Structures are given as structure tokens and as C-alpha cells.
Amino acid sequence: MSALVQLRRVSKAYGVVKAVEPLDIEIQAGEFMAILGPSGCGKTTLLRMIGGFIQPSTGEIILDGVDVTRLGPERRPTNMVFQGYGLFPHMSVAQNVSYGLRLAQVSLPERKRRVEEALALVHLEDFGERRIEQLSGGQRQRVALARALVMRPKVLLLDEPLAALDLKLRRAMQEEFRRIHALIGGTFIFVTHDQEEAMSLATRICVMDRARVVQDGTPEEIYRRPATRFVSRFIGEANFFHGVAQSNVVTLRNGASFSAKVNDGEVDCVVRPEDICLPDQGGCDIRAEAIVENVTFLGHHRQYRLSSVLGDDIIVSSRDRSPDIDVGSTVTIGWRVADQRIVSQ
């Protein structure tokens, strides 16, 4: 069974500026994939190439076995939820949702049924006659989603769908997306710069940086085994401990060493804040002395900032409730070799 969406050596260049370097991606039916990266990394360009709004400079795009590379957006089995929604301001909610069906010449009763169904799916049953300017941001977002979903696209594309919403609404809409994806079982591709959103929604994350895909995997893989320094910094918080590798032995600045299979040279040892024990209670493979610079109480955990010869900005998050670590005191921190990740510089 071949993948639903296949990108083969797809790239986009604007003059000498390369927006997307040649890349190959295959997306299986039913996947909920996030394209994650900082602004300007080419993620939106990539999504718009799949939707047909931008012609790739090279390569081809295969959708469900059909080469759509040269087809415009109106002739592709994809639908997009746009950043800023792009609702038609002169039409009612129901007219917005039924517009695509009307163009596809779906009969009136069928159209009505599907519009009602789509509005019910996004919990806007009674909003059909409303005008767009009467809706809140979250409701507009739902209309945009209904308008795309009513077309039953083979692939639903979402361009920063939640960027304009406040945090609380964003959380609620994430829940909606997850529910709708589970319910209709479609293939969703969404672009975001918000790593938390990508982690919580996607079954697969494609991390982009400077026009390239730097890592492609499940959220857990990307969090646990970041491929590069960029990925480990971009996804969640991380501590970087500088070290030197020689003959498969890495030595950190404080003299602690461990064996690892890496090329000789300078490396970074990446450790997540929650993987550092404070204070060391045994069981740690690598230890270091550190001074507590400050403590922040964040509800479900405490965040410590420490300095040591390993670095000035070590972040440790701990759920330990014992409040007896004072600012200014010297403690021993430690972590297990299994919890760290070595990335070359």
C-alpha cells in the first residue's frame, strides 16, 4: 500500500532564496502530522505546495496515486483551514460552509444535510444563519474547519490554525481537533511553530529548520532522541553540557566522563530538566556540584536554576515537595546516561 501523500524531491526557490530544499516525505492515510519549525523555516511554503497554492520549483507531489504537481488548488482533493480563516464576509455561516458543495453541484437537500452535519461536528448547530462578523474568533475557527471538512477532503491542511486564539481557547480547540480526527479518521497535516501544540496533537512531527526537514518521527522520539542541537532546543527545554569526545569517551568540563559511540571532537550532552535529579539520591551515572541560583514554584513542579562548572544556566524541574533546598546552597545534581542524548556540534 503506497502512501496517501508522496512528496518526491519537492523544493521551492524564490530566485536565489531557497524556501524549501529538496525533500521527500510520505504521509500515510489517517496520520495527523505536524510540520513544526520557527517562522521562516519553509513550513508554510511546504503546506501551500501540497494545497496547490505554490508551484514547486522541482519535484512532484502525488496525492492518492495521482500526480497533482501542476494542478491548481481547485482541482486537488485537499482542503485548507487558513491562518486568519479566510471566511467569506458577505455570506452567512451556512452559505460559507455550503459554498464548496454548491460549486461541486451537490443537490440542495444533500447540501443542506451535509452542512448541518458539518456544523454539528464543530458544535455550531444553531449558527447557520449568523453573519461572520457576529462570530467570535473561536467560532470563526470552527466555521473554517466545518467549511473544509464538509468537502470530505482526502487530506485536510491546517495553516497555523490556532495562532490567533488565546491560550484557553487554543487548548479547547486542540481537544476539538483531536476529537474530530478520531471521529472521521481523516488525514490531517498542520503547520505550527508551537511545539507544545505539535506534541499534544500530532501522531507524527516533521521538524523543519532553515528550509530542511531536520527530524521526522513520533512526538516521543523527537523529544527523547532529538537528532540535532536545534531540535533539542526547539522541542521542550533542554540543558546542554559541553564535552569533548575522544576514542568513544566523552569528558565533561567538570571531569566526569562516560563512554559513548561518537566521533572525536566537541559534543553536547543534552539532558531534559526533568531528567536531572536534585539532590542526587543515588542511581545517577554522572554527577556535578552546583549552586542554586533561584527557585520558581510553578504549581505542579518547581523549577530550579543552577550554575556550575558545567554551565551557568542549568534548569532542573522537580516534583519533589521538600522545600529544604535554599537559594545559594551547594547541591549535587546528577542524571543517568540513559536519559541523555549526545549531539555533535
Please, which residue, 4 or 80, has the CB nearer to other proteins? 80
Please, which residue, 72 or 265, has the CB nearer to other proteins? 72
Task: Report d(CA 230, CA 58) in Å as an integer.
Answer: 27
Cβ neighbours of residue 9 closer than 8 Å, sequence gap 6 or more? 22, 23, 24, 58, 59, 60
> C-alpha cell of 286?
554522572
Please, which residue, 75 or 168, has the CB nearer to other proteins? 75
Q: Compute the Cα dihedral for 169, 172, 177, 180 and give only its sign.
A: negative
> Can you tell me which residue has the cell 523529544?
223
Task: Report d(CA 166, CA 143) in Å as an integer.
Answer: 17
Shortest Å distance, C-beta 90 to other proteins: 5
Kindly indicate which of the ranges 25-33, 106-114, 133-141, 325-333 contains the residues binding other proteins, using the contact rule CB under 8 A: 106-114
Shortest Å distance, C-beta 205 to other proteins: 24
What H or E segment, with its residue span, contains residue 308? Answer: strand 302-308
Q: Is 167 helix (H, G, I), strand (E, B) or coil?
A: helix
Q: Does 14 bind other proteins (CB under 8 A)?
A: no
Number of residues this chain uses to bind other proteins (CB under 8 A): 36
Q: Does 94 bind other proteins (CB under 8 A)?
A: yes
Paired sense of beta strands 155-159 and 78-81, if any? parallel
Among 22, 37, 42, 51, binds other proteins (CB under 8 A): 51
Shortest Å distance, C-beta 120 to other proteins: 17
Amino acid in the structure at residue 323: P
What are the CA-CA distances from residue 240 to residues 232, 270, 341 (Å)? 9, 5, 10
Q: How far apart are the first and last CA of the chain?
A: 39
Q: Which of residues 131-170 bind other proteins (CB under 8 A)?
A: 144, 147-148, 151
Q: Which of residues 55-74 bind other proteins (CB under 8 A)?
A: 72-74
Task: Report d(CA 74, CA 38) in Å as an integer.
Answer: 29
Among 66, 108, 291, 327, binds other proteins (CB under 8 A): 108
Among 85, 127, 240, 335, binds other proteins (CB under 8 A): 85
Task: Report d(CA 40, CA 270) in Å as an integer.
Answer: 25
Shortest Å distance, C-beta 8 to other proteins: 23
Q: Does 257 bind other proteins (CB under 8 A)?
A: no
Among 28, 57, 92, 251, binds other proteins (CB under 8 A): 92
Site string for other proteins, 112-131 (x = CB under 8 A): x-------------------
Shortest Å distance, C-beta 198 to other proteins: 23
Contacts of 254-259 with CB under 8 Å at 24 or more apart are 254/288, 254/289, 254/308, 254/309, 254/310, 256/286, 256/287, 256/288, 258/285, 258/286, 258/337
Among 1, 16, 17, 90, binds other proteins (CB under 8 A): 90
Please, which residue, 48 or 170, has the CB nearer to other proteins? 48
Please, which residue, 133 or 326, has the CB nearer to other proteins? 133
**Which residues contact other proteins by CB under 8 A?**
51-53, 72-75, 78-80, 82-92, 94-95, 98-100, 102-104, 108, 111-112, 144, 147-148, 151
